[in-house]
Structure 1
Amino acid sequence: MELMTAVAVRPRSLVVLAGLPGAGKSTLLAHLDAGGVPVVVLDSDQVRARLRTVFPARLPYRFYRPLVHLVHRARVLLFAAGRTGLLVVHEPSTRPTTRAWLVLVGFLAVRHRQFLWLDATAEEAMAGQVERGRLVRGTSFARHVRRAAWLRDRFAEGWVPRGWHALTVLTRRDRVRLSVTPD
């Protein structure tokens, strides 16, 4: 059973959808309802797909992964600063430095910062990775899982990460409706 979760956002919000790799962020974004309001969604998979057409097909992703992440972050910065309207960013954000960077981008671009956490167990996230046919390296995934467990505990206590205006915790059954409210 799916649940519709309404999230109130401002017209120039920076909305970050975070969670473990494989948690279902891409699936949730595919069903995102912004109520007819234009929204820009930035996902590193968009960059990966584009670069896949540039590099030889046999070139393993690990060789151009750093470039994908660099270009993704540059796009986030450029879109946040140079565009109006809603901006939704797909990013695991289990690292404190990633969250801090996104806060800085939102602050500099004068955007309301909304953090959505898609909560999933390590098992659910691993099953999601297997389903999509792309596995995160074991050591990297283990670090994400440790950091996500810490975040999950803080979120259960009502903690909102520093620099974020609001936090919404979602489950894999949730669908999101962004409701734009006046500034």
Structure 2
Amino acid sequence: MNAVPTQRGAQPLAVGPVRDLRGTTARGPHRLRFPAGDIVVVSGLPGGGKSTLIKRAAEGGGIDSQDTRERWERRMPAALPYAAYRPAVRLAHYWGLWRRLRSGASVVVHDCGTQSWVRALLAGAARRRGRALHLLLLDTTAEEALSGQLARGRRVSAYAFARHRGAVRRLLREAESGRLPAGCASAVLLDRRSAAAVAAITFHP
């Protein structure tokens, strides 16, 4: 049930419940492969590159709450603050996610995966279909994440960012000590360099 990160033209990288690809210097793109039907959640700081990774590499596309927000923003009056329709965006996002999970298809999810209740819901969905949940955790600095937020033209509040930083730190501590976050069958740690080298996130029978 474990993910198998592989590098094009090379032997698979070490397989285990926690794989640390941060600081990877191997040349060429590599692929992250998971068993068909499994669920992958991509977590990390806001602005850390989660959406970029999913859009570039996820086989069949992913479920990204940011995409849902942007669709609603295009339909809403510019003067209307996001907070006014945020509940509707969340509802639309989770409705789309539920439909994808119900289909039994493999899925890559970008969500508030740093929150344990979200991982618990995804892990439960994986168990009900007899499959597993995997975590891709992007380890970026606060400066890198804030730069990413600035580049996309949207900043999260200082309070929300601090909460995310605390959650990411806890996940990193668990993974670095060899412990998997609750509900996860494997974890892969990426920094910006190794994430940029991921050519594809795929699922195999």
Which band: TM-score by shorter chain? 0.7 to 0.9
Instruction: Give the distance between the partners of 2:101 and 2:116, measured in 1 at CA.
Output: 20
What 5-or-longer segments of structure 1 have no aligned partner? none
Which of 47, 71, 92 is matched with 2:112 structurally? Answer: 92
What 5-or-longer segments of structure 2 have no aligned partner? 1-24
Q: Aligned to 1:80, what secondary structure does the other structure show?
A: helix
Alignment of structure 1 residues 38-117 onto 2, 5 Å: 39-84=60-105, 86-117=106-137
Instruction: Give the distance between the partners of 2:58 and 2:51, measured in 1 at CA.
Output: 14
- Considering Cα pairs closer than 8 Å and 6+ residues apart, tell me whether 1 or 2 has the greater RCO: 1
Tell me what 2:18 maps to. Answer: none
Cα displacement (A) at 1:108: 2.8
Tell me what 1:12 maps to. Answer: 37
Q: TM-score, normalising length from structure 1?
A: 0.86
Q: Which amino acid aligns with 2:52?
A: T
Matched length: 177
Cα displacement (A) at 1:8: 2.4
Tell me what 2:162 maps to. Answer: 142
Instruction: Give the distance between the partners of 2:61 and 2:51, measured in 1 at CA.
Output: 14
- Structure 1 residues 44 and 63, CA gap change in structure 2 (3 angstroms): same
Considering only aligned residues, what root-mean-square deviation do their CA atoms show, in Å? 2.1
Tell me what 2:201 maps to. Answer: 178
Q: TM-score, normalising length from structure 2?
A: 0.78
Q: Aligned to 1:23, what secondary structure does the other structure show?
A: coil
Which of 140, 145, 148 is matched with 1:125 structurally? Answer: 145
Cα displacement (A) at 1:133: 0.8
